Structure formats: structure tokens, C-alpha cells
Structure 1
Amino acid sequence: MKTHQIEIQKFKAAANNPHGQVLFKVDALVSTRAPVDGIEPSTLLVMSEQNARVLMNLLKAQFTELDSKKPKSRHGRHG
């Protein structure tokens, strides 16, 4: 498995698609990363606290949009 370090510079946009995926358009620096011996190889996603807060707000907005598209439950109280 190839491992990378992805450093988020800026979140530009967020959207979701019909496949239930949330997509982010970002500016990022991507570099290869050598795996550390004895540890499962992993890719690192690195961002500032400010970008982490932006990500949280974008995720909340996308969840709200996804939830609004789901059919409402018909198991509510009657009469």
C-alpha cells in the first residue's frame, strides 16, 4: 500500500452525490510518506485547527442536506 501525507490548505466546497458520498473540493499538498516499521501503513490527513472547524461546519451542512432528502418516517402518532 502506498502511503501519503495530505495537508489541507483550504476547503473550497462540499457536496453530496446520489451514491451517498460526501465530496470535498480542496487545495492540498500531497506527498509520499514512508511507512514506519512495525506499524500498519497509513496515510495522514493534516490540517490546521481553523480548517478542522471549517470541515466540521461543511459536514454539518452536508448531513442536514442529506437528512432533508430522506423520506419522513410514517410511524408517527395517529390522532
Structure 2
Amino acid sequence: MKTYDIEVQRLKSMRHDMGVIELGIDVLVQPRPGRDDEAAASRLRLPVEHARSLLILLKQQLAELDKLQPRSRRSGRC
């Protein structure tokens, strides 16, 4: 498995369509050398202000999706 370091440089947009949330972002993607002492996984790095913005945007998008659910499904039970 190839692993990458992904650095978010700018959040541009966010939208949801058909159950998928799509982010418009500028990122820097660099291959990450594998190490024996670490599990193979990609890493996402973003500044704190982008993380806060992303959290706010995700909450807004999820709230909009919840409004579309019937009342019986809003209680949090699956």
C-alpha cells in the first residue's frame, strides 16, 4: 500500500449530494516512505484554523442532512 503525507493548504468549498460530502480543497500530496516501526497509513495535516473551519462546516452539512431524514430516524437510532 502506498502512503502519503497530505497537507491541507486551503478549504474552498463543501457540499453534499446523494449521501456524499464533497470538499473543495487545495492540498499538497507527497509520497511517504514506509517505515518498519509504523503501520502503513496516510497522514492528513492541517492547520488548527482549518480544522476548526472544517468541523463547523461538517456540523452544518450534517445538520442539513438530518433535516432531510424522517422524524423517526432523527433520534440517533439506526
User: TM-score, normalized by length of structure 2?
Assistant: 0.85
| Residue 58, structure 1, aligned to residue 57, structure 2 | yes
Question: How far did residue 48 of structure 1 move?
Answer: 0.5
| Residue 24, structure 1, aligned to residue 1, structure 2 | no
Aligned partner of 1:5 in structure 2 is 5
Contact residue 7 and residue 46 of structure 1 kept, 8 A: yes
Identity %: 37
Equivalent position amino acid for 1:70 in 2: Q
CA distance in structure 2 between the partners assigned to 1:73 and 1:13 by the alignment: 31
Alpha-carbon RMSD across the aligned residues, in angstroms, is 1.4
Aligned partner of 1:34 in structure 2 is 33
Where structure 2 has 5 or more consecutive residues not aligned to the other structure, the ranges are 74-78
State which structure, 1 or 2, has the greater radius of gyration over its C-alpha atoms: 1
Question: How far did residue 38 of structure 1 move?
Answer: 3.1
- The alignment covers a number of residue pairs equal to 73
Q: Which has the higher helix share?
A: 2
Moved over 2 A (4+): none
